[in-house]
Each structure stands twice: as C-alpha cells, then as structure tokens.
Amino acid sequence: MSSLSSTLRQLVVDDDVLPYVQERCPDVVPVAPPRRLPGGNLNVVWRVSCAERSLIVKYAPPYIAADPDTPLDPSRLLIEARCLRALGEGGRLGELTGTVVRPPTLIDLHPEVPVLIMEDVGPVPSFGAWLRDAGPQGRSAAAAMQGRRLGHFLGRLHATTYADDHCADAFDNRPMQETRHAVQYQGVADMLRDAGVRDAEALGRHAETVGRGLLEPGRCLTMGDLWPPSVLVAPGNDLRIIDWELAHYGRPLQDVAHWRAHLWMQIQRAPSPAVAKAIAEHRDAFLKAYAEGLGDKEEVLWDEEERRDAAIHFGAEILVRAVGPFQAGYVYAGLDVNHPAVQAAVATAAEHLRAPKAVEGTER
C-alpha cells in the first residue's frame, strides 16, 4: 500500500485529495483545488474539477464523519461500489437502468482505504430543491412523471433481485443494518418519551421488533437510503440516485416506506399549496408505478406483513427527522419539540406505530 493510502487510512485532509486522484487515475488532470461538499453525515466527499470532467471522491472513515466518536463500519463503501458496478453499463443489473434513471458511474475503488471515485453528476438540484424551484406551470405533471420513473425503477429492482442468492451474498450489509437498528428502531421509545407520548415504551417495542426482523436475511436488494438528497435531477430531468452505502439485501419497506415518509414530511413542510399538491401527485404516481414494476412479484414482496411493518418504519423515520438525531439540516431543523409542525409529525408517527394495520395507506 502506498504511503498516500496509509495517510488516508489515518486521516483525510483536503491536501491529500489531488495527489490521490492523480495516483489512482493518471489520465485525469485536475484544474482546481478539491472542494469538500457539505451535507454529508457518514462520509467525507469532495468534488474535483478536471480538464475534461469533474469527479466525486468519497472516503469512508471508520466512524460517522459528522460524529467521529461514533464508530461505523467502513465496508459500507464497498457495498456502494458493488451497487454502482451491478447497476452500471454491462453490470449484472444494468438492464434496470438507462439514461433516465441510474446511479453515477464507478471510476475507481481503493478497497483497503476505502476511497471511491465516481462520476460527478454535477451541481444539480436534489429532488426536494428541484420541486421547490420548478415553475408553477407544469410542476405537478413533472413531479408525477418523476414519480412514475422512480417507482418503476424501484419496483423492477426489487422484483428482479427477489430470491437471488448471488445478490443476497454480495449485498449482505448487516453492519449498517445493525447501526440502523440501534439508532433508529431502538431509539423510538426515547424519542417518543421526549416528545411527551404516553405509550412511548409500548410503541418503542413495536419498532424494535421490526428492527430485529430487518437484521434477518431479506427478500431483495434495497437502495436503503431513498430520501430527497439521494435523488438528483440531472439535465433533461433525468434522475441520478446517489449514496448507496446503506444498500442491503433486505425488505422492500426500507425503500418504499422510507420514501413515503419523506414525501409526507415534504408535503407537511411545503412552502406553498402548489408544491404540496405536486408532491402528492408524485407520491401517487410513484406508488402506482412501483406496483406495476413489481409485476407478478407483488404478492410475495408487498404482502400484508410488509405493509404492516412499512407503516412502523414510516413512523420511525419521521421521528428521527422530527425529534431525533437526524433533525439537523432537514425540514424540522431548529424547531423545538413543542412546535406545532413537530407535534403533528410526532402524532402521525405515533399513530403509525400504534396501529400499523389501521393506518396503512392513510398517509396518502
């Protein structure tokens, strides 16, 4: 291993990045200092402008980048690289993607550090920003179109990888699932208690049960972190799905309920009725296209148990964003627990945890 890679193993600083890129990609000619991108919690990410194209360099330290005191398995970046390879041109799952919906192209992976170099989609808006900045004319139609695209891709991804032993082995991301269980599902009781919910303990047990179940072998490949910052809108309104380090051979609910929870939050905190309406039309189109993408696998992948547990995940995801460790930088950032929007979010989350069968689908 080179001395540069040894340095990266210990600590990545901005001055390391250009020499590293030139070492790994000798045909690349950087033309400006690297720029560290904001907003990442798990990893350290830079944009490197080069003569012919710009690149993204992502480093996974053995801890949460935003919280160095919290250990985190760096093998998460190896999972992401496998996803980019599998879904890229000529990959095992490459038939699922095209110009309209795809992840970035993998350029290089140093598995021992680990550092990933990939295509830079560009300084383009995330789904949420795109929706807010779109003109009032045609906003709903465009949002619905993106819902159809995303839902169809996700349904086909889940259906194609169902009961696939190769994918089950390649995308076994248990370390990240264990982290999710500890942070998200096991934290539900504390979050509800802090928000003043009386039956917090009982609801927390519901979430923990689902979280434990998600540690078991799954049914299909899931993206794992499907929320607005992970869906970029490229020129031509094409979608680029980034940040696959939480991907796992798991259960559909961690994609479908995750996205639905974020759409609910986006609607609740929408800056105008027009934006809220567009998000709702996106949601409806997404759900319909997802079911169509599942095809004859719908009965085994989106059965009664999955819908019930999806409602519980829906509630747990709202909680971590409204009153939990991931409030900063999102739609409830800076709001006190007694703020009406936060209290409404907590009430919705609690109801989904309390009676998942009764509320399944009511967030529509």
**What is residue 301's predicted lDDT score, i.e. its pLDDT?**
98
Tens of pLDDT, residues 134-175: 656 557 889 999 999 999 999 999 999 999 999 999 999 999
Neighbours of 184 (CB within 10 A): 22
**Which amino acid is present at 290?**
Y
For domain 127-359, the CATH architecture is Alpha-Beta Complex (3.90)
Give the pTM: 0.94
Residue 123: is it exposed, middle or buried by C-beta count within 10 angstroms (0-12/13-18/19+)?
A: exposed
Q: Which residues lie below 8 Å from residue 209, measured CB to CB, with a gap of 6+?
A: none
Under DSSP, the state recorded for 235 is G
**What is residue 139's predicted lDDT score, i.e. its pLDDT?**
78
Ranges of each domain in the chain = 3-22+29-119, 127-359
Reported as a pLDDT band with limits 50, 70 and 90, residue 215 is very high
Side-chain half-sphere CA neighbours of 195 within 13 A:
33
Q: Please tell me whether residue 17 adopts helix, strand or coil conformation.
A: helix
Give the pairing of strands 220-222 and 248-250. antiparallel
Residue 2, pLDDT above cutoff 50: no
Asked whether the beta carbons of 46 and 35 are under 8 A apart, the reply is yes
Our CA dihedral for 292, 150, 316, 170, rounded to 10 degrees, sits at 90
For domain 3-22+29-119, the CATH architecture is 2-Layer Sandwich (3.30)
**What pairs with residue 231 in β-bridges?**
241
Q: What percent of the chain has pLDDT over 90?
A: 79
Residue 13, pLDDT above cutoff 80: no
Q: How far is the C-alpha of 239 from the C-alpha of 153, rounded, in Å?
A: 11
Q: Please tell me whether residue 137 adopts helix, strand or coil conformation.
A: coil
Under DSSP, the state recorded for 362 is T
Tens of pLDDT, residues 46-93: 999 998 889 999 999 998 887 888 889 999 999 999 999 999 999 999
Nearest-5° angle of CA 179, CA 11, CA 109? 70
Q: Is the dihedral of CA 297, 298, 301, 305 positive or negative?
A: negative
**What is residue 136's predicted lDDT score, i.e. its pLDDT?**
60
Q: How far is the C-alpha of 194 from the C-alpha of 184, rounded, in Å?
A: 15
Reported as a pLDDT band with limits 50, 70 and 90, residue 11 is very low
Tens of pLDDT, residues 171-207: 999 999 999 999 999 999 999 999 999 999 999 999 9
**What is residue 134's predicted lDDT score, i.e. its pLDDT?**
65
**What pairs with residue 50 in β-bridges?**
30
Reported as a pLDDT band with limits 50, 70 and 90, residue 10 is very low
**What is residue 1's predicted lDDT score, i.e. its pLDDT?**
39
Tens of pLDDT, residues 240-263: 999 999 999 999 999 999 999 999
Q: How far is the C-alpha of 12 from the C-alpha of 39, rounded, in Å?
A: 17
In whole numbers, what is the pLDDT of the chain averaged over residues?
A: 92
**What is residue 7's predicted lDDT score, i.e. its pLDDT?**
46
Give the pairing of strands 231-233 and 67-71. unpaired
Q: Do domains 3-22+29-119 and 127-359 have the same CATH topology?
A: no
Asked whether the beta carbons of 127 and 232 are under 8 A apart, the reply is yes
